[in-house]
């Protein structure tokens, strides 16, 4: 494409003059200007290319500008760009059918939302209405979205300035590398985290708890792959106390872990699944709740008191259909799995051997985190200044990283190739070498 650097300058000026950004003090922001993208790359108006190992906000699972998805959006735009949710729409029905086919026979219906946060809002609402209880338990190390109940369900710092509503309590999930339970083995971590969770359930009043809401693999909190047996144990607690189990698969779903749904790799089935991001890689905003047959049936006669103007928006639904079909026919989920097992996992482990700043490598599929520490013994997180230096070193070498606290999340699109992984690993290696040389 013809790129004009003057457009880049204009985009930057307009942004700084008029656009209010998420999660930030506005004054010091210097947003990167992106002109276009394809596959695992994006570029600016000067033609500088970046390997996107962030997948933006971990959502471009199919990569940038997949032609089949772009084409489906164009075709649907010619047919019908918008229609009320109360109507029946072909693209919407086809999208729901495809999502349910991947979730399996336990599930009966899909409720579409605009994104991940409102998917969690509505899953919580369904759990409350079907149990007649109001409390929601979720993990401190979690992010569930930036709306009423979703932000109060969130465990990380973003909850605190938004905490107005009642009916939420939190617990510590398993995290062996920084164990809250003094565990020395994954088995101890599972056993003690489950003991703690049951104590919270009982102490909060089991009969008042509608749902346990859990990211199957907590993402923003650090790609915290649950130890063996943990999710089974949570399922058993939910069954024992009549609690609805909601797995938030907004970030970990649709290929990220090398499975269609992350829970399928752990052999535990929830009652409700929330999704967004990877379902259509965010080409048009959409999210939703996959609802178990029995919870869906509860609303056969009872009114569901929830809805959204754009629920099942045709442009978004058409992009879901095309994205899921392309992921299937191109083996994109399988690619994520083998890239993790054969390239990213071993490559990042080798990087950790070489660089003392990397305290732990954890993850699966195309969902990895490097936990960066001052000293491998104390596991003290590295400073924000050092994280900033690493980010600069990566971007200056043409890699877009996902940076959170003291971690780099290595989260490329599910279509990433072995060559792109090798290129990224070389850039991480150089960036660590540069920053470590200053210590
Ligand atoms: N749940 C999880 C696990 C997420 O990672 C996110 C976003 O990062 C959300 C929910 C919120 O999704 P959205 O930003 O689409 O509302």
CATH of the domain at 408: 3.90.1150.10
Asked, for residue 170, whether it belongs to a domain, the answer is yes
Please enumerate in sequence order all residues whose Cβ is within 8 A of that of 319, keeping only pairs 6 or more positions apart, or say none.
Answer: 69, 72, 73, 76, 280, 283, 284, 286
Low-confidence ranges of the chain (pLDDT < 50): none
pLDDT of residue 341: 98
Does 273 sit in the ligand 1 pocket, CB within 6 Å? no
Ligand 1 centroid to Cα of residue 353, in Å, is 33
Q: Same structural domain for residues 317 and 236?
A: yes
Least Cα distance to 414 among 52, 126, 157 occurs for: 52
Q: Given the CA of residue 114, which atom of ligand 1 is nearest to it?
A: 15
Chosen domain end from 329, 356, 386:
329
Asked, for residue 19, whether it belongs to a domain, the answer is no
Mutation pick for ligand 1 pocket among 22, 56, 144 (CB with most ligand atoms within 8 Å): 144
Does 249 sit in the ligand 1 pocket, CB within 6 Å? no
Does 251 sit in the ligand 1 pocket, CB within 6 Å? yes
Mutation pick for ligand 1 pocket among 249, 251, 278, 313 (CB with most ligand atoms within 8 Å): 251
Asked, for residue 25, whether it belongs to a domain, the answer is no
Chosen domain end from 310, 329, 348:
329
Asked, for residue 308, whether it belongs to a domain, the answer is yes
Ligand 1 centroid to Cα of residue 142, in Å, is 10
Q: What is the ipTM of this complex?
A: 0.99
Q: Same structural domain for residues 231 and 115?
A: yes
Does 220 sit in the ligand 1 pocket, CB within 6 Å? yes
Does 143 sit in the ligand 1 pocket, CB within 6 Å? yes
Taking only the tens place, the pLDDT of each residue in 340-357 is 999 999 999 999 999 999
Rounded Cα distance between 252 and 366, Å, is 10
Q: Same structural domain for residues 84 and 183?
A: yes
Q: Same structural domain for residues 136 and 278?
A: yes
Ligand 1 centroid to Cα of residue 118, in Å, is 9
CATH code for the domain of 213: 3.40.640.10
Range of the domain at 256: 67-329
Q: Same structural domain for residues 135 and 171?
A: yes
Q: How far is CA 430 from CA 50, 383, 419, 435, 437, in A?
A: 16, 19, 17, 9, 11
Q: Same structural domain for residues 302 and 202?
A: yes
Q: Same structural domain for residues 144 and 46?
A: no
Rounded Cα distance between 417 and 98, Å, is 26
Model's pTM, two decimal places?
Answer: 0.97
Q: Same structural domain for residues 50 and 72?
A: no
Q: Whose CA is nearest to atom 13 of ligand 1?
A: 116
Ligand 1 centroid to Cα of residue 117, in Å, is 6
Does 237 sit in the ligand 1 pocket, CB within 6 Å? no
Ligand 1 centroid to Cα of residue 364, in Å, is 19
Asked, for residue 87, whether it belongs to a domain, the answer is yes
Asked, for residue 369, whether it belongs to a domain, the answer is yes
When divided into structural domains, the chain yields a total of 2
Rounded Cα distance between 420 and 143, Å, is 29
Ligand 1 centroid to Cα of residue 113, in Å, is 12
Residue 174: both structure tokens together: 């398993």
Q: Same structural domain for residues 162 and 47?
A: no
Chosen domain end from 312, 329, 346:
329
Q: Same structural domain for residues 113 and 184?
A: yes
pLDDT of residue 161: 87
pLDDT of residue 1: 65
Asked, for residue 258, whether it belongs to a domain, the answer is yes
Q: Whose CA is nearest to atom 7 of ligand 1?
A: 145
Does 248 sit in the ligand 1 pocket, CB within 6 Å? yes
pLDDT of residue 164: 75
Q: Given the CA of residue 59, which atom of ligand 1 is nearest to it?
A: 8
Mutation pick for ligand 1 pocket among 23, 117, 139 (CB with most ligand atoms within 8 Å): 117
Q: Given the CA of residue 277, which atom of ligand 1 is nearest to it?
A: 15
Asked, for residue 1, whether it belongs to a domain, the answer is no
Q: Same structural domain for residues 297 and 368?
A: no
Q: Same structural domain for residues 295 and 373?
A: no
């Amino acid at each position: 494409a013809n790129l004009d650097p003057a457009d880049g300058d204009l985009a930057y000026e307009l942004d700084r003059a008029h656009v209010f950004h998420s999660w930030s003090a506005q004054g010091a922001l210097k947003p990167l200007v992106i002109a276009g993208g394809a596959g695992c790359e994006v570029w600016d108006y000067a033609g500088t290319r970046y390997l996107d190992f962030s997948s933006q906000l971990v959502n471009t699972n199919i990569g940038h500008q997949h032609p089949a998805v772009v084409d489906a959006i164009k075709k649907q735009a010619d047919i019908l760009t918008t229609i009320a949710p109360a109507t029946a729409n072909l693209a919407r029905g086809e999208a729901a059918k495809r999502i349910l086919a991947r979730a399996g026979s336990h599930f009966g219906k899909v409720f579409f939302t605009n994104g991940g946060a409102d998917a969690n809002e509505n899953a919580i609402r369904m759990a409350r209405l079907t149990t007649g209880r109001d409390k929601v338990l979720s993990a401190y190390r979690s992010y569930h979205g930036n709306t009423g109940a979703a932000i109060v369900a969130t465990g990380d710092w973003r909850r605190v300035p938004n905490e107005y509503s009642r009916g939420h309590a939190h617990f510590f999930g398993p995290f062996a590398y920084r164990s809250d339970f003094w565990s020395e083995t994954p088995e101890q971590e599972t056993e003690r985290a489950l003991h703690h969770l049951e104590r919270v359930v009982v102490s909060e009043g089991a009969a008042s708890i509608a749902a346990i809401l859990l990211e199957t693999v907590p993402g923003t909190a650090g790609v915290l792959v649950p130890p063996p047996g943990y999710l089974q144990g949570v399922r058993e607690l939910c069954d024992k106390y009549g609690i609805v189990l909601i797995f938030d698969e907004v970030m970990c779903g649709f290929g990220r872990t090398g499975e269609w749904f992350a829970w399928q790799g752990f052999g535990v089935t929830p009652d409700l699944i929330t999704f967004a991001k990877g379902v259509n890689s965010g080409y048009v905003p959409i999210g939703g709740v996959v609802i178990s047959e029995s919870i869906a049936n509860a609303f056969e006669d009872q009114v569901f008191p929830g809805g959204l103007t754009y629920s099942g928006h045709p442009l978004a639904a058409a992009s879901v259909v095309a994205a899921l079909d392309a992921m299937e026919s191109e083996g994109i989920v399988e690619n994520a799995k083998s890239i993790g097992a054969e390239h990213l996992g071993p490559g990042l482990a080798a990087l950790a051997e070489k660089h003392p700043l990397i305290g732990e490598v954890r993850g699966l599929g195309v969902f990895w985190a490097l936990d960066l520490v001052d000293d491998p013994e104390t596991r003290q997180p590295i400073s924000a200044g050092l994280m900033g230096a690493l980010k600069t070193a990566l971007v200056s070498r043409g890699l877009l990283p996902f940076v959170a606290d003291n971690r780099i999340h290595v989260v490329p699109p599910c279509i990433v190739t072995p060559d792109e992984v090798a290129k990224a690993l070389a850039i991480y290696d150089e960036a660590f070498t540069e920053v470590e040389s200053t210590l």
